[in-house]
């Protein structure tokens, strides 16, 4: 492995952050510039939204079920089984729904974007696009950012419902408790701040997934091996960022919403 000096290492990292920031800003700025590639947005929405639907629903459903089971074993000791719905709903809607949906979409789509754009880079298709008078940022990045944000938002809503159904499934068939009580406590516990927090996160996560996937894809160097490397790095970076940013958003919204 080639050794590089600490100065060069830091410079390259700073440059990467700068390039990522520029890509992120331009991806949003392009929303207000013509042309807006609506057909590409719809195509990406289909790929990201419907393509990820099954896996997101399954992941959050079983997490909701597992959360109910784990909560039950603790709550049973205090004779507080009636609050199981509250625990599941707050846990799923505020935290697990958006984070799990984000991680699943990151694993599936950040990698897909990085590999697709990376392949286009190494086969000079992106250069060809520029040569043919198309801005790759408008044609490739902005549609993916819009589609990911919108679809992750709705995937999270559907995922939240599936998580609550997962909890209901355990409450009804495993714990043999009253499901009516579960649903009413679930419903009554949720406040505006919970729902707002749970729906603000996928917007930020969607932006992270798409911009990171596109950034690593468009920065690909070194042929097919480079595409593989870009794909892996995109998934790792987007997942770490989702988990880290989640903490900051949670805290920020707690302060903002006074919860």
Partner 1 sequence: MSIPTLPIERPTLADQRPPTDAVVFDKVELAFEQNTVLDGISFRLAHGETKAIFGVAGSGKSTILKLALGLLKPDAGRIVVLGEDITRMKEDQLFDLRRRVGIVFQESALFDSLTVRENVAYRLMEEGDIPEEEIEDRVREALSFVELERTVDLYPSELSGGMRRRVAIARTIITHPEVLLYDSPTGGLDPVTSNTIIELLVKQRDVYKTSSLLVTHRLQDAFTMGTHYFDRRENKMKPLPPDSRAEVPMGFLVLRDGHIIFDGDLKELRDTQDPYIREYIS
Query: Which residues in this chain contact partner 1 in the complex, by CB under 8 A?
Result: 35, 123-125, 127-135
Burial of residue 93 (number of CB atoms within 10 Å: 0-12, 13-18, 19+): buried
The rounded distance, in Å, linking the Cα atoms of 12 and 245 is 23
| N residues, the chain | 259
Shortest separation between residue 35's beta carbon and partner 1, angstroms: 7
Nearer Cβ to partner 1, position 95 or 135?
135
Nearer Cβ to partner 1, position 105 or 126?
126
The angle that helices 223-257 and 97-105 make with each other, rounded to 10 degrees, is 160
Shortest separation between residue 44's beta carbon and partner 1, angstroms: 12
Nearer Cβ to partner 1, position 46 or 124?
124
Shortest separation between residue 133's beta carbon and partner 1, angstroms: 5
Half-sphere exposure of 149 (CA within 13 A, CB side): 15
The rounded distance, in Å, linking the Cα atoms of 206 and 143 is 12
Shortest separation between residue 209's beta carbon and partner 1, angstroms: 21
Cβ of 128: how many Cβ atoms within 10 Å? 12
Nearer Cβ to partner 1, position 37 or 169?
37
């Amino acid at each position: 492995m080639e050794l590089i000096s600490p100065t060069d290492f830091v410079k390259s990292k700073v440059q990467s952050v700068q390039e990522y920031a520029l890509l992120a800003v331009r991806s949003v700025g392009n929303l207000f510039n013509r042309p807006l590639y609506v057909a590409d947005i719809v195509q990406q929405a289909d790929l990201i939204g419907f393509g990820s639907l099954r896996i997101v629903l399954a992941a959050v459903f079983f997490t909701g079920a597992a959360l109910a089971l784990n909560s039950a074993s603790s709550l049973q000791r205090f004779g507080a089984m009636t609050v199981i719905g509250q625990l599941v709903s707050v846990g799923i809607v505020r935290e697990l729904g958006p984070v799990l949906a984000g991680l699943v979409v990151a694993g599936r789509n950040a990698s897909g974007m990085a590999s697709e754009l990376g392949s286009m880079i190494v086969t000079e298709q992106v250069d060809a696009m520029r040569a043919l008078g198309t801005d790759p940022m408008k044609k490739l990045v902005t549609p993916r950012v819009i589609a990911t944000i919108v679809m992750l938002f709705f995937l999270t809503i559907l995922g939240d419902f599936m998580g609550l159904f997962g909890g209901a499934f355990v409450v009804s068939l495993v714990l043999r408790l009253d499901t009516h009580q579960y649903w009413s406590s679930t419903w009554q516990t949720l406040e505006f701040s919970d729902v707002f927090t749970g729906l603000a996160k996928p917007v930020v996560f969607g932006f992270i997934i798409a911009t990171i996937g596109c950034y690593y894809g468009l920065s690909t160097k070194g042929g097919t091996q480079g595409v593989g490397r870009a794909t892996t790095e995109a998934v790792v970076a987007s997942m770490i960022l989702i988990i880290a940013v989640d903490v900051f958003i949670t805290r920020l919204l707690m302060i903002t919403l006074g919860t």
